[in-house]
Chains A and B, each alone.
Chain A
Amino acid sequence: MMGSVTKSDPRESIVKRHHPVGASTGYMQSLRGDWEAQVAEAWRVSSFAIELSALSESELPSLAEYLRQTPSLPFRYVSVHGPSKGRQMGEEQLVASLAQFARLADGIVMHPDTMDDLRLYRPLGHKLLLENMDSRKPDGRTPEELHRAFEEFPEAGFCFDIAHAWSIDPSMAVANELLDSFRGRLRHVHLSSLSEDLHHVSLTEEDEELFSPVLRRCLDVPWIFEAPPQTDPT
Chain B
Amino acid sequence: MEASRQSPLGRLAELADRDFPSLFAARERSVGGLKKRRDDLGKLSHDAGASIVLMGSWGRAEVTTESDDDFMVLVYGEERAEVEPSIAEVSGVLDNPPGSQGIFAAPVYSENLVQNIGLDDDDNRNLSRRMLFLLESTAVSGDDVYRSVRAEVLDRYLDESVKPYRPPRFLLNDLVRYWRTICVDFAGKEREGRDKWGLRNAKLRTSRKVLFAGGLIPVLECFRFDREPMREFIERQFGMPPTDRIAQAFLENEATDEGGRALAAYDEFTGRMNDREFRQELQSVSRETADDSAAFSDVRRIGKELQAGLLALLYEPTRELSKVTRDYMIF
Interface residues of A (CB under 8 A from B): 1-8, 12, 14, 17-20, 103, 106, 126, 179-180, 183-184, 186, 216-221
Q: Which of B1-9, B197-205, B309-317 lines the interface with chain A?
A: B309-317
Kindly list chain B residues whose C-beta atoms are within 8 Å of the C-beta of A7.
Answer: 323
A19 contacts across to B, CB distance below 8 A = 315-316
B170 at the interface (CB under 8 A from A): no
Distance of A183 Cα from B308 Cα, bound (Å): 14
**Given the contacts A19-B315, A183-B261, A220-B258, A2 and B165 also touching, CB distance less than 8 Å:** yes
- Check B327–A6 contact: CB distance below 8 A: yes
Q: Given contacts A3-B223, A4-B166, are A221 and B308 in contact (CB under 8 A)?
A: yes
- CB atoms of A220 and B320 under 8 A apart: no
Residues of A within 8 A of B316 (CB): 17-19, 219
Please report whether the interface of chain B is mostly helix, strand, loop or mixed according to DSSP: helix
A-B contacts besides A17-B316, A126-B301, A219-B318, 18 pairs, CB < 8 Å:
A2-B165, A3-B166, A4-B166, A5-B223, A5-B326, A5-B327, A8-B323, A103-B291, A106-B304, A183-B16, A183-B261, A184-B17, A184-B264, A216-B318, A220-B257, A220-B258, A220-B261, A220-B312
In whole Å, how far is B106's beta carbon from the nearest beta carbon of chain A? 40
Whether A219 pairs with B312 at a CB distance below 8 angstroms is yes
**Neighbouring B residues of A106 by C-beta, 8 Å:** 301, 304
Chain B residues within 8 Å of chain A by Cβ, number: 31
When distances are taken between beta carbons in the complex, the residues of chain A under 8 Å from B298 are: 126
Q: Are B312 and A180 in contact (CB under 8 A)?
A: no
Q: How far is the CB of A221 from chain B (nearest CB, A)?
A: 7
Q: In the complex, are the beta carbons of A180 and B224 less than 8 A apart?
A: no
In the complex, per-residue mask of B130-144: 1 if CB is within 8 Å of any chain A CB, else 0: 000000000000000
Q: Is B255 an interface residue when CB atoms closer than 8 A count as contact?
A: yes
Complex alpha-carbon distance, A4 and B223, angstroms: 7
In the bound complex, CA of A8 to CA of B166 (Å): 18
CB distance from A103 to the nearest CB of B (A): 7
A3 CA / B308 CA spacing, docked (Å): 26
Docked complex Cα distance between A196 and B180 (Å): 53
Residue on B nearest A221 in the bound complex, by CB: B308
Q: Which of B285-326 touch A at CB < 8 Å?
A: 291, 298, 301, 304, 308-309, 311-312, 315-318, 320, 323-324, 326
8 sampled A-B residue pairs with Cβ under 8 A: A3-B224, A4-B165, A5-B323, A17-B316, A17-B317, A103-B291, A183-B16, A220-B311
Is B272 at the interface (CB under 8 A from chain A)? no
- Known pairs A180-B17, A183-B17; A218 contacts B257 (CB<8 A): yes
* Min C-beta distance of B220 to chain A, whole Å: 10
By a CB distance below 8 angstroms, the chain B residues around A186 are 257, 261
Does B11 belong to the interface (CB within 8 Å)? no
Q: Once the chains bind, are A2 and B224 in contact (CB under 8 Å)?
A: yes
